Chains A and B, each alone.
Chain A
Amino acid sequence: MSLKRTLLLSSALCVSGGAGFAISEEVGIGPDIPGMCSFEAIGAKDYSGRSLNIITHAIPVIGEPTALHADHFQRLTGANVNVVHVPFGDLFQRIMIPFQTGQAAYDVLFYGSLWVGDFHSYLAEIPAEFQENPEMQAVTATYRDVATWGDRMLQFTMDGDRHYLKYRLDIFENEEIQARFREEMGRDLTIPATWEEYNEVAIFFSGWDWDGSGETNYGSAEVVARDDLMFSAFISRAAPYAKHPDVTGGFFFDLESMEPLINTPGWVRGLERFIEARAAFPPGGTNFGLGDEIFSFGGGQTLMSYSWDDAFIQAMQEDSPIRNQVGAAMLPGATEVWNRMTGEWDTFDEPNRAAYITWGWTSAVAEASQNKDMAFDYLCFFANGANTNHDLQVGRFGVNPYREAHFDASFWSENMGWEDATAQSYVETLAAIDGHHNRVFDLRVPGVGQFMSSLAAGVSEAMAGQRSAQEALDSVADEWRQIVERIGADRVRDAYANVVALEDAR
């Protein structure tokens, strides 16, 4: 029986009160999970004759699951669902222009959650019934925070993201390599607890064939390409030096004065360590974007990397040469942390870590949409239990854990064949980040694109040797002051206060 016929027949059965709704399994999603947005529940709705317009990222990341679930939603409800796929670089303006010109071009939007500072006034609040849905209630507090603007939930959580360290477990546990490291470096080989250790280990493992593949290996793959999300990598590197666990009131800015902190010593040291790490990059590594980083680590070229889940998931794909040979850990920390209140470096016996809850994919419904009911049903369907369980298992979909149940190691070992130790390392890392007391969020304020574009340009100039770390960040701070002046300090402060409230809440 064709998919369409199956769906139509099942829909008809459902509409007429039929039971035994096995449709989700027949379309390859897996068993339907009862709930307000299950296949069965959505199949009972009739949106015939109505159109739903969705804008999303290009295929495959988020774009592919958007289209897949749109197709099922269309067949279940009779709605006409149009999905527009846009490359990441164009996504912001393709959403923003209709907003600014008052057009209801799209009902449903998929985008980077850090843009909420720009989009919030154009988004519809998530209706109470969806917020109270048990599947939404199961979203961890961190990702509910991400979805919230002030006291309003404007974003429909369908992804959870964070930066963490990935490393080659088999190499770190190799006794021969451990002995070689001990002999040359005078200490035991350990998972890096600080960025200094990270650089040291990465440089040691660069330029020789440590995995016996016949190819030269390297120490670190990092996202360094200026316009390819490098700002997030830099925040990961700078955070432990600049995010003092006992200092509240702002990480990017001093909330009170709105003076940029981006050129303070903590940030500068993070950049200096970032620059030093170039010695451990593979050839071309100073031009790596996210895709390069994923394939460099996932393909076995490099010992370590850090960013979103993708590189880990890539490494754990069934066809990966390093499947079940990788480990996860929180981002390295720093034993010296800049205290901007005292103007001095504070020393920590146990490295200070900062959990960077980096931006990830999110979704929302446009306030101007004439189809809010259908739009929220679609998003709820997208994120229902069956679809989410399915999407989490497909690395290229870009959907990562965000519900309490996703932090259960057995989910990964049973569904995806991960070894218990790997699955345990993965979920423990994610859970540790989720519950961490020293959290860093993105700069979710109006004009975040301008702030991050300026930051990426400055960091990139320093990485390319065009300026020193201090000079580069001084120029970024100057530009940030100008941006704040243009937007209005009060306006930025009001928005930034939401971010600081999240960071200072624990």
Chain B
Amino acid sequence: MAGLFSQLSFGAPWVLAGLLVLPLLWWLLKVTPPQPRRIAFPPLRLLLGLKNEEQTPAHTPWWLLLLRLAAAALLISALAEPLLGRAPQVAGSGPLVLVIDNGWSAAKGWDERQGVIADLLRGAQDRPVAIVATAGNAPVSLLDAGAAVRAARELAPMPWAGDRMAAAARLARASFASPPQIFWLSDGVEDGVGRKFETALTKLGPLTIFTPRAAALGLLPPVRDGTGFQLTALRPGAKGARQTNVAAIGRNGEVLSDAPLIFKAGDARARAHIALPLEVRNQTARLEIRGEDSAGAVQLLDSGGVERRAGIVSAATSEGEQPLLSDVYYLERALAPFAEAQKGTISNLIARKVSVLFLADIGRVAGSDADKVKKFVTDGGVLVRFAGPRMTGGADELVPVPLRVGGRYLGSAMSWNAPQKLAAFPASSPFNGLVAPTEVTVTRQILAEPGAQLSERAWARLSDGTPLVTAQQMGQGWVILFHITASPAWSSLPLSGLYVDMLKRILALSAGTAAGDLAQLSSLAPISVLDGLGHSMAASAELLPIAAKDFARTEVSALHPPGLYGAQGVESALNILKAQDALLPLELGGAREYGDVHSIALEPWLLALGAGLLCLDALVALWLRGYLPALRLRSIAAAGLVLMLMPRGVHAQDTTSMQAALDTRLAYVVTGLPDVDAISRAGLTGLGYALKARTSYEPEDPIGVDVERTDLSLYPMLYWPMDPREKNLSPAAQSRIADYMRLGGTIVFDTRELTLGAVRGAGNPGDQTLRRITAGLDLPPLEPVSADHVLTKAFYILRSFPGRWDGGQLWAEALPPADKNGQSAPARGGDGVSPVIIGGNDWAAAWAVDASGRPMSDPVPGGDSQREMALRFGINLVMYALTGNYKTDQVHAPALLERLGK
């Protein structure tokens, strides 16, 4: 505690003098009595003129006084700006220089760093301050204290790496009257010049270095492996174990999946795998390390790289034996990063809804397949065909240009021409912007018949002008023909990276991107960029596009921040970290950690606490004046008592449940009305005796259940007498009863109509109670129990259902309509047991027996014979609840036996 006080300091200590006012406040509060309670009182006339024996004002209670004084003391101390913790010491008198790393790796813990900056600036008081940000390029100038605070507040981490040597050069150009005191707030990441930078700063003046305890993590580009993403994360240094999460995030910021990322002690890299089905994989917009909040911990994904389902059909059969000669092998390899490639026949691939269909060396698409392919293309599919030996014999009509029969050989013994190179792609081609490597040569190809459309349909040509790739739009889809094989047999194109790029653009075509957009992709304009904390935002108009051919080599910088570049739908991602990058820790002697020097301002906490006390005081004042009847001491005491008694109540309920679980028992709903409950209990006891005597079911003593609290699932049947005094159900009880009925329980509602009122029907109190209580329940459709209902046959054969009274209607869940064609069955039952049975004959009263087993009521009008029928109905009811529609199966037994005999 003493240690805590020694760390306490005040920003404005003179405000503490306000505490001297407290005694005055105490005196004022003491003499001002609280407002009296106001009570409206009808017999006031009798009170008037009564002598008020004690008119001295009541004192403010001591605890209220204490509360108010504490609130005032808290507010006063809050205004004195108390600080907890050691602020960094800023000694000396010269100018102050803050060198702040604000590259992407500084984003982690930026708030903490701002706190340290604020502490330093507070310590600087009136000394001039220069702020140098390593990821900025503003010239260094000396600021007074206020301007420095503003400048520091505006400082934010940038989404690119800082350049420390450039910052040192800027600092060296500035001139200081006296040697400045320098603080370097580093991000703890080595950029190769850390030592040099330190030396450069030390030359200018005394240097203090801060480093973060845990430096930033970085995420490398993901590797797609067909089932999800393989991720690798980096950290500077390898000290200690560290665990965090990586997540795949969708386009709208939703988390699609995540996986733990564990750095073992001694490892600078950690791997994780996020498994996602293809559809979800395609919705992934970015991968990020959770909780890192830095642009370097984010990997944006190309949206042109949405994975498509591509189908490959090849005519060749030698695929398995000589993979390096087969077309399928090269296509699969080239498509793997962007598409899920499937092999199969044309019809089953179309049925599997591929979006791009590759036909390698299939001359003619046969029979009904031709129609299917045509429909596939006109509906928006992309058909990509590769030439091959079979196509030299002629092709069907599903090609973009008419073809000449026979191939053209180049550079062979029979040829007069050298192997041809690729020409630059035409401006109208979707391949525009791709660079044709000079080493790609074509030795054999299929030629197109010259024609008027040939020039516009050619997407790629050889250097002598003959078309290499032709395409034609057909309906909403495209037919594209490579005039060479998909394997390196005819050219070296399948071995080059260009092949992959071309296929990628064709896949983008299938994503609905217009061919014209693809053609303009010679330069990629920024669409959205990341800020230093890794949040996406729209790109500002000042950012320059990147030439497509340079994109792969582009480094992230202030000119090209990380983000998505290209056209809508075919966006390429520019990320900070590339696959070969690594992070190193900044290892300098004498560095201090941020957490050690940061202090906590207590002002907001004290203010909040003081305001809370004042609110409490207002509540207390209301209570004292009688405006909070709910807060009477008595009810508080009662609540406390209930809380104390609660565990015992729970225990009691457990024993009830255990009793119920060990034996099948009859149960009734406790209404809380002693007379009704006693009859229910006596009734079920009497019914239990009858069941014991006549059936193989021997129930134990009945149990009363409270639907508001008890677990109902242990009882096959609940008897529920209605009484107008019963309370409505709470929502919890309603859902519990709904569950009970849905899961196969049966509730017998007894409206006791003639017991409660003179006539049956809607005006009867029992009937009204039933309607009131079941108002919130989801009852099934009901119908009167018919003469062939299984309830009439479950044990005894019954025609009516008397209880204490006779007559009335018995209702149960509506049965499915009787089978019209079949012969009439003697008993009908639905699937399972009716969840509710409703009647009004006051059965419990008829069943009820006293302790010596004598009946307790006289059934009207039938007397003892009616009691017997009532007991028979009770037995049928219990059998029905226990065995369900078993009797309806029994009536089919002769027919079943007959069938078995045959």
A and B: bona fide binding partners: no
A residues within 8 Å of B by Cβ? none
B residues within 8 Å of A by Cβ? none
